[in-house]
Amino acid sequence: MARIIAGVASSHVPAIGAAIDNKQTEEPYWKRVFSGFEKSKEWMAKAKPDVAIVVYNDHASAFSVEIVPTFALGCAAEFPPADEGWGPRPVPVVKGHPELASHIAQSVILDEFDLTICNKMEVDHGLTVPMNLLFGSPKEWPCPVIPLAVNVVLYPPPTAHRCYMLGKAIRKAVQSYPEDLRVVIFGTGGMSHQISGPRAGLINSKFDKAFLDNLTRNPKKLTKISHLEFMREAGAEGIEMVMWLIMRGALDDKVEETYRFYTVPASNTAVGHIILEPKNKAAGKKKPAAKMKRAAARVKPEIRRSK
């Protein structure tokens, strides 16, 4: 039986990708951002998932305004990096997991979530930046990826509650897959930011912190946040955070926060990152519990801020 062993949330700021591609990660401005993901990379290297489901949004790369699917699941064998205007990012082609992806599609559609199925799709920084942050910059990505593109560009995106419930349906789908696969699910985007109009530059750390706090213990509260509140408090583009709730919905009701990182800014955006694991971690691990405890002890929750 496949199972979800952890949830990861991370911002997907395009400038982070540019800093990686232009080898600026050691510059003080960027080091502040990247240093927050060092422990996460160690954690991921130990977690060694068999598959990653990455919830993200497309930014006028694969989808223009001609067709705007609310939820689009990538069922292809591979997903080439999109040309976002400066040539495709120099990252490996993302390999899919068509068998699990089509199983998820069939399961959640019958659970009344009307997904769009993408058998051919390019992926942009929304997906590849969080991959870099958690997997580094390897020649090949270490595991297959199932992209789930969510419309958060054209208002209205799916509601926070709908996203959370889709997460639950995805969890059910994964658990009904016969092969013994260990799956990590990513929620990406956010945190507070607005990049459009005269109010551009908006950051709301109070909102972000409260969001992170509630994500672990009280996600149901977050499912009640209206789109108006997201946009007003966290910026017009901060509404991306609904995608984190798909990740959260796919996890156990009770989870532990393994790691947290928050810094302002990366270009126009508050960078937030969290790793959540089931309380009964043994259930999700291959290795003996004692060994994993030591590994977990090295990755203590932590907050850094630059202000």
Partner 1 sequence: MARKDMRKAQDYDDIPGTFVFDAERSRQGFGINMFCMSLMKDENRKAFKANEPEYLKKFNLTPAQTEAILKRDYNRMLELGGNIYFTAKLGATDGHSFRHLAAVMTGSTQEDYADMMLKGGRSVEGNRSKSGRPAKNILVAAGKPAAKPKASKPKSKSKARSKRG
Task: Please say whether the beta carbons of 243 and 55 come within 8 A.
Answer: yes
Minimum distance of partner 1 from residue 154's CB (angstroms): 5
Residues 12, 97, 103, 125: which is the catalytic one? 125
Nearer to partner 1, 154 or 289 (CB): 154
Residue 111 vs residues 105, 107, 115, 165, 167: alpha-carbon distances, Å: 10, 6, 11, 10, 12
Nearer to partner 1, 210 or 299 (CB): 210
Question: Is residue 103 annotated as a catalytic residue, yes or no?
Answer: no
Residues 103, 193, 227, 273: which is the catalytic one? 193
Nearer to partner 1, 86 or 290 (CB): 86
Minimum distance of partner 1 from residue 116's CB (angstroms): 17
Which residues contact partner 1 by CB under 8 A?
15, 59-60, 64-66, 68, 83, 85-86, 153-156, 192-207, 210-211, 214, 221-222, 224-229, 231-233, 236-237, 264-265, 267-268, 270, 307
Cα–Cα distance for residue pair 282/293, rounded to 1 Å? 10
Task: Please say whether the beta carbons of 167 and 113 come within 8 A.
Answer: no
Nearer to partner 1, 33 or 292 (CB): 33
Residue 131 phi/psi, 5-degree rounding, is: -60, -45
Minimum distance of partner 1 from residue 223's CB (angstroms): 9
Among candidates 183, 179, 164, 163, which has minimal Cα distance to 277?
A: 183
In sequence order, the 6+-apart residues with CB closer than 8 A to the CB of 158 are 70, 71, 150, 151, 166, 242
Question: Is residue 97 annotated as a catalytic residue, yes or no?
Answer: no
Residues annotated catalytic, as ranges: 125, 193
